[in-house]
Amino acid sequence: MTGAPIIAAIETGGTKLLYRVAVADGETLGEGRFETGSPGASVARLTRAIRALVPDGRRLAAVGIASFGPVGIDPSHPSYGKVLATTKPGWSGYDLVGAIKSELEAPIVVDTDVNAAAFAEQAIGAGRGARIVAYLTVGTGIGGGLAIDGTTFKGSPHPEIGHVRLARAPGDDIAGTCPFHADCAEGLIAGPALARRLAGTASLAKTPELLDLAADYLAQLCTTITLAWSPACIVVGGGVLQERDLLERTRDALALHLRGYGTVGALEPAIYLRRAALENAGLEGALLMARALTDHDEN
Ligand code: ADP
Ligand code: ZN
């Protein structure tokens, strides 16, 4: 049987796993999600569900994986496709690509969830037309990815921009939630840190002082991204920045932090810091990466 290749995408997260099977020319054959469990059980469920969606007589031509970090994404390094030291129980050292490959017997490409999201937002989302697109997610954790001319910025293993140290605001002495760093962005202002600050008393939307503090910290992080990576835009995702007021205040604070410095001083915060256009940017990116792998194989 012939026809356009059949491809699959997987996004692994700390709480949920998403998958989709599609024809490389665009048609979705099926998709779903599970709660994340142990690595063995999660991969068994995922691969069973994906296999069931591949039409009879066809084989999977490629699988793209957008993985939570830290994960090896350098194809030339022995850590490629392996989950590195993580606090997620049972996942440290797990050979994610090896396990999926032995079940699905297809070529696999893996990247971080945030790189995949940057890749998708650049190709088909809010960063379309921009040469360099940063993606920043603020939710349970904070992570950032970078798409450059239709590829992603990798590393050894990859950047962890959510763990850069921030300058604490005077009087802010609450303990951060990151077990590794006292004052990193994730520990100071990701979802669990916000929950600690709110202590069940009110919502972020109804706490203007906390909105201002969060905006200042996120603007510090965006300043670092801007100075280090110089993207054309920062696309933001994750639950926390869905708070309209927070995005607005972060834009205002970013302009203050950049202080009109050099060429970045001329950027327009309302255009520069933009909301993600895709609902599941990581999964979309994984699918695009799988498709690129089949294009590559055909050449
Ligand atoms: P995940 O990071 O697990 O993919 P989300 O991006 O939805 O999921 O982020 C969930 C985290 O963000 C939780 O810790 C949640 O408490 C926090 N969060 C999301 N929206 C808000 C908000 N408006 N105010 C405070 N915390 C929020
Ligand atoms: Zn940290």
pLDDT band at 106 (very low <50, low <70, confident <90, very high): very high
CA-nearest residue for atom 27, ligand 1, is 240
Q: What residues flank ligand 1, with Cβ below 6 Å?
A: 13, 15, 139-140, 191-192, 194-195, 204, 238-240, 243
Contacts of 184 (CB under 8 A, 6+ apart): 162, 163, 164, 165, 166, 176, 178
Output the residue whose Cα is nearest ligand 1's atom 13.
Answer: 191
The share of the chain scoring above pLDDT 90, in percent, equals 87
Predicted confidence (pLDDT) at residue 265 exceeds the cutoff of 80: no
**Structure tokens, 52:** 């069931």
Q: Which two tokens stand for residue 123?
A: 């190709």
Question: In the predicted model, what is the mean pLDDT of residues 185-196?
Answer: 97
Q: Which ligand lies nearest to the CA atom of residue 192 in the structure?
A: 1
In angstroms, rounded to a whole number, what is the distance separating the alpha carbons of residues 132 and 122? 8
Q: Which ligand is nearest to the CA of 184?
A: 2
**What pLDDT score was predicted for residue 299?**
47
Average pLDDT over residues 126-142: 97
Contacts with 196 (C-beta within 8 Å, 6 or more apart), sequence order: 174, 175, 177
Relative to the CA of 138, which ligand 1 atom is closest?
Answer: 6
The atom number, within ligand 1, closest to the CA of 246 reads: 23
Q: What is the CATH number assigned to the segment(s) 126-275?
A: 3.30.420.40
What's the CA dihedral at 40, 113, 294, 46 to 10 degrees? 30
Q: What is the pLDDT of residue 267?
A: 83
> From ligand 2's centre to the CA of 201, what distance in Å?
26
The secondary structure element, H or E, covering residue 252 is helix 244-258
Domain boundaries, the chain: 6-113+279-298, 126-275
* Between 261 and 151, residue with greater pLDDT: 151
Mean pLDDT, residues 203-230: 96
The pTM of the full predicted model, rounded to 2 decimals, is 0.96
**What single letter denotes the amino acid at residue 251?**
R
The residue whose CB lies within 8 Å of the most ligand 1 atoms, and thus the one to mutate among 11, 87, 189, 194, is 194
Same fold, 6-113+279-298 and 126-275: yes
* Stretch 180-190: mean pLDDT: 96
How does the average pLDDT of the chain come out, rounded?
94
Contact present, 33 and 18 (Cβ < 8 Å): yes
- The residues whose Cβ lies within 5 A of ligand 2, an ion, are 163, 178, 180-181, 184, 186
Could you identify the atom of ligand 1 that is nearest to the CA of residue 15?
Answer: 3
Give the CATH number of domain 6-113+279-298; options: 3.40.50.360, 3.40.50.2300, 3.30.420.40, 3.30.460.80. 3.30.420.40
Extended beta strands in the chain, E state: 6-12, 16-23, 28-35, 60-67, 108-112, 132-138, 142-148, 151-152, 233-237, 273-275
Helix (H, G, I), strand (E, B) or coil at 144: strand
